[in-house]
Each structure stands twice: as C-alpha cells, then as structure tokens.
Structure 1
Amino acid sequence: MYAQSRHITKARTMRTAFSQNLRFLCAEAPSIAQICREIGLNRQQFNRYLSGAGLPSAHNLRRIARHFDVGEADLFTDPDHFAAARHPTTAPKLPAPLLHIGTGFADQARPLRRFLGTYHGYFCTPTWPGQVLRSLIHLKEVDGYVVSHTFERAHASDGSIRQRSTYLGLVAERGGRLCLTERPRNSVGALSETILMPEHPHQISYLQGLVVGVSAGANRRPFSTRTVWVRLEEKRTAREALADVGALPKDSPRLDPKVRRLLGDEVPLSVTLDAYPPS
C-alpha cells in the first residue's frame, strides 16, 4: 500500500514538473496552436500536457524535446532549476570578435514578438530569370534571440537546376526595420542579408525590403533585389506552406497580385566577372 502511494505521488510530481516546464517553454511562442502544428501534435492532447492531466508517450516526448531543443529528462526537473538553466542570470561571454555583432541580436524577442510566425518570401534571382522564387520563412524565439529558418525548394522542368537550400539566421530590430543575417545550414555558401519594413507601422501582413545574397547557380553570382514577405494564417500547416514553395512565372495566377506589384519589374542587380577588367 505504501509503495503504491509513493508511486502515485511520484507520478503526480512528474506531471506537475512537466506541465510547468512545458508552459515555461510555450510562454514566448505566438500561440499554442502554432506549436502544435510545428510539432505535429493534437491540440486537445497538448492541452492535457500543459494542465498536468497527462504525460506524453515516449514518442511524443521525444518530438516535444526536439522542438524546444532540450533534453527529455530535463523536462521533468524542478521548474525553478529548469527556468534558471534556460535563462541564466549571467549571459555567456562572447569571443571578442563576436561581441559587437552578437550582442546586437540579443534580447530581441520582446520588440519583435508581433513578427514571430511563418511567412512566404518572394524575390527574383539570377538563378531563375523571368521568375519569382517563393521561399518559406519561420521566425521563432530562442533564449531571447529571434531565429529564422528559411527553406528554398525549386527545380527546372528540364532538370537542369534543382535547388534545395536551408538557412538559419538571426533577426534584430533597428530603427523600425527588421535586419536579418542568414547562413546556409551546410558549411558551403555565402551569408545573406535582408532588411525589411512593414508596409504601414501597424500592418505586418506584408513586409517589403531588399535582400543581398549569392545565386544558387553554378556561377554563384552576388546579387541584390527587392523582396516581399507575406504572413501566413495560423491555420495553415507547415507541410501545406512548404508545398507552395518554388519558382513561379511572373504572370502566374498563383502569384499574389499585390506581391507582383510590390516586386515591380526590377531585374536583380548582379555582379559577374565580366564586370571587372583583366588584371
């Protein structure tokens, strides 16, 4: 009887710790619905975890831990210790070369909270002349930083080009503008820079600006061009949004007319070796 009572008490303690730690992790997210979509969990079941009414299966526990980038066992630790470990009172010291740049991206979750979420990004690139590349961008908060995940997927009908790129980046707000620096997930490839601004101060459905990057073609041409981000509705799943990624003709009916207007007829400004005289 005593052993059974201890087992019940331990299970209750685990549920309480897990629910408090999970609520802590969810506090900075735009919505619980978005978290459920990203992890691929049922909202009703996730609410049971949040309330302490139940614990996830081993499979779901692993999915939750991977999403929040924490250890599975850590989710059951004392909530005070868990919170302190996630947000230490003393910030880690950056190496001197990174100090000036790195601190510029710290503590950006609060000023950029209204921009967190998922977008389709549109821009023209020398890799796809006469077309508009539609990418998928997700902005989320991680330890006070705003982190970007960008996915580009496109292929030519003749098979000559097959583009599959994933980028990770950091976002900061400066002077009412969103400044994004990204690098490819692999070790090859150049950094890209994007500066965005809302169309109106209180409207964030459309963000427009400029991007500077390097084309995905064999010649790896640096270029700059206009870009437009369109915020996606929360009810859209990540899989649905990723299915729409690709290269579209500029006159495609699948292209938002407002995006076409904001991009204009401007051809990307690019640099080639021909632009330099022989030495």
Structure 2
Amino acid sequence: MTSSNPAHDLSEPMVHFAANLRLLCDRQGSISQICRKLGINRQQFNKYLSGRHMPSSGNTRMIANFFGISPELLNAEPEHFRALVEGNFFDVLDQLRRAPQVVRFLSTVAVSSKIEKGEYVGCYDRYQYSSIYSRKILRSAFCVFQNGDFLNHYYIERFPSYDDPSRIEYIFKYHGFTFPVEDRVFTIDFESVQRNEFTFGIFSNVQRSAKRFMFGIVSGVAATMFRQPFSTRAVLHYRRPGLLSREELKATTTLDMNDPSIPREARDYLGESPDMIKPT
C-alpha cells in the first residue's frame, strides 16, 4: 500500500539533512545569496531544504565547506546538531581558525598522519570533583567528533539546585579542540553560556578490560573573581560512537562521592578526597 502522505516517504537521512540545513541557513541570512555563492540552482536548493531531494556527494561537500563543518555532521540528528550550533560555536570556531596565531599552532600540533582519529571519536561520561559543589563528583556528557581535518569536542555540565535536587540550577556548555599527540590527548575549550571560561586538559588513553578510559588533569581559568582558577583530576569513560543523545544529557548531574554508578576505575583515579587545586 502506498502512503498518501508525502512526508511519510522521506527517509530519515533526508529529514535530518533538511532540518540541519534550514538551521544553518536561518543563521546565515538570504538563501538567494547562499545559492549564488554555492553556485547551486535555487529551485534545486529548495528541494534540499524541504527534504524532497538529497544533494550529490559533491554538492554535500560544497555545502559543508561553505558553512565550515564536515559533511558527516549535516546528517546528524537535528537535536544533536542544534547542540553543536548553540552558543555561536561555529562562528567562534571560524574566527579562531582564521586567527594567524591559531593557524600556526594548528599546523604544528593538529592531527598527525600517524594518529587514527576515529579511535577518539564518540561519546564519553566525564567525571571530576566539582569546583562549585564541595565534595561532589560532577558527571558531564562529553563528545569528540571529527570536523574536517580536525577533532572537536563539546560537553555539557548540569548542576542541581541545593533546595530542590530535581531542578537544575546551572547549565554550562563547553566547545573546543581535541589534539591527539603521540600517546596523549590535549583539549582546549571555552564555555559558551556565560562566555567567561577557558579550560585546558591533558589525558592518557587507557584500556581496562572491555572499558576505555582517558585519565588526566584539567585546569580552568575564568574572567571573574567569583570563579577562581582551578586544577583537578578528570576521567573520560568511553560509552559509544556518535553524538550525545537527550538521555545522556539528562544523566549529567553531581553525585555523592561513593555513588555506585561511578565506575570503580574513575573513583580510584579521583581518590578519596577532593583534590581541587585553587589559588589561596
């Protein structure tokens, strides 16, 4: 039996691509100007926007390059894609990429041909002692994804209210670069909600039985006296490939130090007492 509703005939990749393309176009401005710059017929482009047609691999690559992202990201689930776009992430990333100092830096430490980038791509649970809630372990959702020749990452922190733990008091979102260098992984990112903090990390990749971890040290520097610079141990526990799901974002919270949901390997590395280092 043939469906009478054209929307039912659209494949999931077409629907995802169309929704993500519309989001990018809404942020960019005139669709006519976009079509002229891309050299794509407006009528054909409208079919991409409506989900009635998927562009060729060549046109997909051209569209992705125009917006400064990888072709694979255009096919991500729309809610995941929106999480990447929130906070002007791509705009800031483009500005960083164009900065001469950053270009020189990336040319020396970016992605070595000897590094298998796919080894690091995917979703992680991130554990560290909280710099806000004393003696609590923060579980955040962390994702590494490939964007052109580089690895980028983003992660989400959510802090429940002291008065009502069922209500979220604070949400922080970080976006940045991931650099595998030899047997270490370096991270540099910025917080995109309050826009006042940079964090830096160095991790070592470790395989424990069937589990994959990265153990490291993270330092943060904020542009306000109310949030002091800090340094602490952090653990990344690999969960699966792909981008973060809504369920993983809901699971981000602060936990008691002995919460059984924290992997034993993470607890052992973090230690029995908070090791947050702050200036006196």
Please state which band the TM-score falls in when normalised by the shorter chain. Answer: 0.5 to 0.7
Q: Write the distance in 2 (CA, Å) between the matches of 1:235 and 1:45.
A: 19
Bigger radius of gyration: 1
**Alpha-carbon spacing, 1:154–1:215, altered in 2? closer, same or farther (3 Å):** farther
2:45 to 73, 83, 86: 73
**Alpha-carbon spacing, 1:216–1:205, altered in 2? closer, same or farther (3 Å):** farther
**Alpha-carbon spacing, 1:253–1:83, altered in 2? closer, same or farther (3 Å):** closer
**Alpha-carbon spacing, 1:169–1:261, altered in 2? closer, same or farther (3 Å):** same
Identity, % of aligned positions: 17
Structure 2 spans left out of the alignment, 5+ residues: 1-9, 29-33, 35-43, 49-53, 67-93
Tell me the equivalent position of 1:250.
257
Tell me the equivalent position of 1:114.
119
**Alpha-carbon spacing, 1:252–1:104, altered in 2? closer, same or farther (3 Å):** same
Tell me the equivalent position of 2:132.
127
**Alpha-carbon spacing, 1:266–1:174, altered in 2? closer, same or farther (3 Å):** farther
1:229-240 alignment, distance < 5 Å: 229-233=236-240, 238-240=245-247
1:126-275 alignment, distance < 5 Å: 126-158=131-163, 162-186=169-193, 188-200=195-207, 205-214=212-221, 219-233=226-240, 238-272=245-279, 275=280
1:79-138 Cα deviation digits (max 9, x unpaired): 4354366569xxx98443223223346446963211100001000133121110000011
Tell me the equivalent position of 1:4.
none
**Cα displacement (A) at 1:207:** 1.1
**SS of the residue aligned with 2:197?**
coil
Q: Which amino acid aligns with 1:199?
A: V
**Cα displacement (A) at 1:78:** 5.2
Tell me the equivalent position of 1:40.
none
CA contact (8 A) 1:208 1:227 kept: yes
**SS of the residue aligned with 2:157?**
strand
CA contact (8 A) 1:126 1:215 kept: no
- In angstroms, what is the RMSD of aligned CA positions? 4.0
Tell me the equivalent position of 1:5.
none
Q: Which amino acid aligns with 1:193?
A: F
Q: Which amino acid aligns with 1:80?
A: G
1:130-150 Cα deviation digits (max 9, x unpaired): 110000011111111111011
| TM-score normalized with structure 2 length | 0.64
